[in-house]
Chain A
Amino acid sequence: MTALEVNGLCKAFGGLHVTRNVDLVVAPGERRLIIGPNGAGKTTLFNLITGELAPDSGSILLFGQDITGVPSRRRPHMGVARTYQIITLFSRDTIVRNAVLALLGLSELRWNPLLDLDGRHELIEQARAALARVGLEHIAERPLSQTSYGERRRVEIAMALAQNPKVLLLDEPFAGLSIDERRDVRELLAAIPRDVTIIMIEHNMDVALDLAERITLLHFGEVVVEGTRAEVVADPRTREVYLGE
């Protein structure tokens, strides 16, 4: 059984083929790193996996189940969670309310027009627990507009973790972080238990490489190299793509 399987996935915007016949097989519990230069189609691949974009052809299987035609809003209910490269949070709300919204998305409670949301203590406790995992519990009540960029990156991760996903897609979780913040995020990602499969897009090789077991290199929408960390790093094509030899 594979956690995620992508077969022959294609996506074109007009004449621009951003995803070309991509195959991807990720085992349960695996840490997969996806690398590639700008415009290689990494984020598009994530958008196809989460269903925000519909593929032109190909299929996506989640734990053996074909989810290609499943609406994107159903996929979190099936165990897929993601973070965004460009921070996408509820800036008028507090940090804890952001995490509560992540939990509420998977709860039938989200349709309830009569209960008081602030009175759902078990939900708020769960949200605080998710924030504790990323080290933000102490500022849970702070409005998001008063937080730093690094804190917001961690709120992104906390919201994904709060949904208790089986497959976690991280889109550049280290982007724009200071060296200290990078170390903190690296530690918190390393602490995620193995029942969560992680697929991560990242440019920061120094922090990302030692988190990853297998690496997929994308270039112009195609998988160029795939293998273990050592294999991909040693492969001459990796050097060619990145250094343009």
Chain B
Amino acid sequence: MTPKALRYAAIAAALLLLITLPRWVANPYYINIASQILFWAIFALALNVLVGYGGLVSLGHAGLFAVAGYALALMLAAGYGHLAANVVAVIVALAMSAVFAVLALRATGIGFLMITLALGQILWGIAYRWASLTNGDNGINIRTRPSPFGISLAGADAFYYATLLTFLLAVVSMILFVRSPFGASVRGTRDQPRRMNALGYNVWLIRFLAFLLSGFWSGVAGLLFVYYNQFISPQIAALQTSAEVLLMVISGGTATLLGPIAGAAIVVIMKNVVSAYIERWNLVLGVIFVAIIVFMPEGLVPGSVRLARRGWNAVRARLNPRPLGERP
């Protein structure tokens, strides 16, 4: 098989596995974990637009994730329907992304990181302290999940399929983005902003639009998070969430499609599955991150590809030893 055919086969197998998962796994507990992996993966993919392709490391994305969730919860609490609440929540997330971008894009590098961190903390502070709006530490409950086209998402399987569909849409939008001229523009501003400007690109506007794309999918992930838990509290807007999703992106592999997904899977599985067996699961997660940084500084997915290729070459060299003096 050619590498291309192999890739298509792998994609088809992965799709088939994802679609048939509820048939293999009867326990709704594991289906719920799969849903969590998928919406955290959407969030990580969203952050990867900035971190991986834009070269802009944000530590404030929990704010965008949470602002969509709070907008949804508040709209529902005020008696609006699910559709209106979702539309408004996405618009709020986009508007907040625009505010973040305008303020943070005055800088790059560590300056950008610090501004996004500060903005995220402001949103966390509002969620925590403005109790008359957000109900403070007690959070907001959501009574029902929506029933789009008459299909109730109350059950684990139905919610999983809705999340999977959203996840696949996010993946498709990322694939389109990465291979598009705009994606090339974003990567160019990461690698050589000065040259991009001299070639006629509007570096600021390119980064701003990339921020909006990132904010959009962060908001969508936040909506799924709130529907999944049917609850939102200030904890989700905290710095720890921003750091966690950033770790997903970096550990999985920045500027790759599979990296953030793998990173999300590792963190969610550690939190939910391993924590049931090992009390100090945080320690295990830390050890895994250290191991990734030491052995695969480029991230789990590109690192595994590199090691697998090296292993394969070593096996091939042993099977077909070359005569001395001949160069490969």
Q: Does A118 contact B (CB under 8 A)?
A: yes
Is A104 interfacial (CB-CB < 8 Å)?
yes
Q: Contact flags (1/0) for A89-125 with B, using CB distance below 8 Å?
A: 1111100010011101111011111111110100000
| Cα–Cα, bound, A84→B182 (Å) | 24
Interface: A72 (CB within 8 A) = yes
Residues of A within 8 A of B209 (CB): 111
Complex interface: chain B residues within 8 A of A74 (CB): 200
Which partner residue on chain A sits nearest B204 by CB separation?
A73
Q: How many A-B residue pairs have CB under 8 A?
A: 86
Contact B198 A50 (CB under 8 A): yes
Q: Is the CB of A73 within 8 A of B203?
A: yes
- A81, chain B: closest CB distance, angstroms: 8
Residue A52, interface by CB 8 Å: yes
Contact between B185 and A90, CB atoms less than 8 A apart:
no
CB of A104 within 8 A of CB of B177, answer no
Number of interface residues of A (CB under 8 A): 37
Q: B194 — which chain A residues lie within 8 A by C-beta? A: 52, 88
> Whole-angstrom distance between the alpha carbons of A52 and B199 in the complex?
12
Verify A88–B181 contact, CB threshold 8 A. no
Interface status of A77 (Cβ within 8 A of chain B) = yes
A76 touches B192 (CB 8 A): no
Whether the Cβ atoms of B200 and A73 lie closer than 8 Å is: yes
Does A105 contact B179, Cβ atoms closer than 8 Å? Answer: no
Q: Does B183 touch A at the CB level, under 8 Å?
A: yes
B275 within 8 A of partner (CB): no
On chain B, the residues within 8 Å of A159 by CB distance are: 199
B198 / chain A contacts, CB cutoff of 8 Å: 50, 52, 72-73, 76, 82
Question: Which 3 A-B residue pairings sit nearest by Cβ, starting from the closest?
Answer: A105-B199, A76-B200, A105-B200
For the A-B complex with A90-B191, A105-B200, A106-B199 known, give 8 more contacts whose Cβ atoms are closer than 8 Å: A50-B198, A52-B194, A75-B200, A76-B199, A84-B195, A88-B192, A112-B182, A113-B176
| 13 pairs, A vs B, C-beta closer than 8 Å | A73-B198, A73-B203, A88-B195, A105-B196, A110-B181, A110-B182, A111-B181, A111-B209, A113-B213, A114-B180, A116-B179, A118-B179, A159-B199
